[in-house]
Amino acid sequence: PRARRAPSWCRRGLPGPRVEPYRAGTVRRRLAHLTEEQAAIFLADNYAVVGTLRADGSPHQTATWVDWDGEHVLFNITVTRKKYEELQRDPRVSVFVFDGDNRYRWVTVSGTADLTLEGAAEHIHELSHKYRGRDYALRPGEQRVIVRVTPDRVTAYGFDS
């Protein structure tokens, strides 16, 4: 087997990838919008992959249930998950979802996450009904969080428009 080459920045003696803490307000935001057809993929029972950044700057991706409220991509986590800690430290997030009926149709939303405790228990029940047809089995004392992603960038494939 061939040996893997080091990244080009390493071979050229450049500093490694930037692993600085996120500073809110340092980037000018341009809000992006989903078409109705793209939003429908988030409204259907398609699974998504959510990507956040670990403290060392490496990506952390997990499959999750998603929803769309007309303005934000929504998903639901617990306060005990690493993703909650990561989003508190750095709210940048990406959400990739593909159409379960046509794997060549997909949408990626990149943006900033807003974490909300209010209504999170009701929201996880709504998601559970959408994906499993029944209430979510909340553990005693489990604290849920709604993550609202404001789209800064939308990338899609397989759509007419």
Q: What pLDDT score was predicted for residue 143? A: 95
pLDDT on residue 142: 93
Reported as a single tens digit per residue, the pLDDT across 23-37 is 555 444 456 889 999
Percentages helix, strand, coil for the chain (3-state, rounded to 5) are 20, 35, 45
The reported pLDDT for the residue numbered 4 is: 57
Token pair recorded at residue 10: 């390493």
Point out which residues pair with 51 in neighbouring strands: 61, 94
- CB–CB of 65/75 below 8 Å? yes
pTM for the complete prediction?
Answer: 0.80
Locus of tokens 């306060």 = 79
Q: Provide the pLDDT for residue 78.
A: 95
* pLDDT of the residue at 6: 54
Q: Which residues in the chain show pLDDT less than 50?
A: 9-11, 14-21, 26-29
